[in-house]
Amino acid sequence: MPEVEGFPSAVRVPGKRVDGIDGLRTVAVMTVIFYHFHEDALPGGSIGVDVFYTISGFVITRLLVAEFARTGDIGLWQFYRRRWLRLVPALLVVCALTALLSLAPVPTFKHGVSAALLAAFSLVNLVRAAQSGGYTGVTAPLGHTWSLGVEEQFYLVWPPVLLALLRRLKARTVLSAAVVLTLLPVLWRYHLWNSTAAHRIYNGPDTRADQLLAGAVLAIVLARLAPDDPWRETMRTWAARLWLPALTLLALMVWQVQITGRSAWNGPEYTVGFLVTALLAVVVLTSLELLPRSPLTRLLSLAPLAWIGRNLSYGLYLWHYPLMHLLGDLGVKRMLFPSTLLATFIMALASYFLVEEPCRRLKQRGRGKPEGPGGRGSHAPATVLPTAVGAPGRAR
């Protein structure tokens, strides 16, 4: 089938890997892990989840648009097969061990079987969204997988919607439609917002979709611009001007803005704040894409950061939370953070080499060639307004 007009860049550079984006994954996941141990030091550390969402929306949409630009279609079955192989086998290993721990006298894992089943079917976020008070223990040992549920529910809906738009509309109109879809969750959050709706807004796939769609919009914009398009140069110029202010604002939010629990930031954050965070992440992503020689890109492209983000970020996110609770229940207190971090890296490495790499080879065998960067996992909240889901020692 001939190449489809309207996406020249997608045809030239389909699914290219950007080391700086992988390095950004590392920073995001380590921010979330640190936040789960030291909420008071980084009250906005859950913003690492928001950054992951925007990265995922960008990367997945770039792959889908590139496929459509080359073939005039998107193989939805193959897409879902690749997503399943990328995300689910490693998750199932964590779920299986969590279920087994429910047989041991470990308090947090009392509901390990129910938590494992909910996590395996990407339902933790929906259960938490329905809880107006404090989160119950039914999801406790795998409470962090709420964010994976949001992401996987997005993966179910967005590809067929994007395919329908691409088939029926011109490229410019597809972009406009994506922008409108990105703004709708903000209006929906304004409609829903009150202090008892915090769990509903924080965990809902519909109320967090704008963060993924903001990345999707960036992917569509870049796919539409040929390398010599003057608009690409304009984006490059503004990215050079704005990446440092955007990164500074994100850092300040992580340091000072309390996202979960009662605070003066609740109203702004739970209405427009999620989109603001996503737009700041979009600026950073644009700079990583278009400014390969910028100080930020060079820093995040350092081999250790890029390798961890590319290969271990998902495993680190999956394992840190149950290991944190397991070691805490076993009496590790003063050295809980370093002990958990070491155990998490060991389990993430094992997951990568024993589960994720074999599954990646299966993906390539089914596709006929290596896949570009894929979406990764993400992160978490809990009383009438959410408190930090990962703080050690809290009742869940």
Looking at residue 354, what is its pLDDT? 97
3-state secondary structure of 302: coil
Q: For the chain, what is the domain count?
A: 1
CA dihedral 163, 187, 216, 257 (to 10 degrees): -160
Q: How far apart are CA 114 and CA 118, in angstroms?
A: 6
The predicted pLDDT at position 85 comes to 95
Task: Give the C-alpha separation, 211 to 48, whole Å.
Answer: 12
Q: Is residue 387 part of a domain?
A: no
Token couple for 165: 């738009």
Asked if the structure places residue 353 within a domain, the reply is: yes
Q: What does the pLDDT read at residue 7?
A: 86
The answer to whether residue 374 is domain-embedded is no
Inside any domain, residue 372 = no
Q: Residue for token digits 């971090």?
A: 341
Contact 15, 63 (CB under 8 A): yes
Domain that includes residue 90, residue range: 8-367
Residue 17 lies in a domain: yes
User: What's the pLDDT at 10?
Assistant: 72
Whether 388 maps to a domain, the answer reads: no
pTM score: 0.90
> In this predicted model, what pLDDT tens digit does every residue of 248-297 receive, in sequence order?
999 999 999 888 777 778 889 999 999 999 999 999 999 999 999 999 99
Q: Within a domain: residue 2? A: no
Q: Is residue 338 part of a domain?
A: yes
Q: What confidence score (pLDDT) does residue 4 get?
A: 61
In this prediction, the residues of the chain whose per-residue pLDDT falls under 50 are: 1-2, 369-396
| The pLDDT value given to residue 149 | 97
Q: How far apart are CA 257 and CA 262, in angstroms?
A: 11
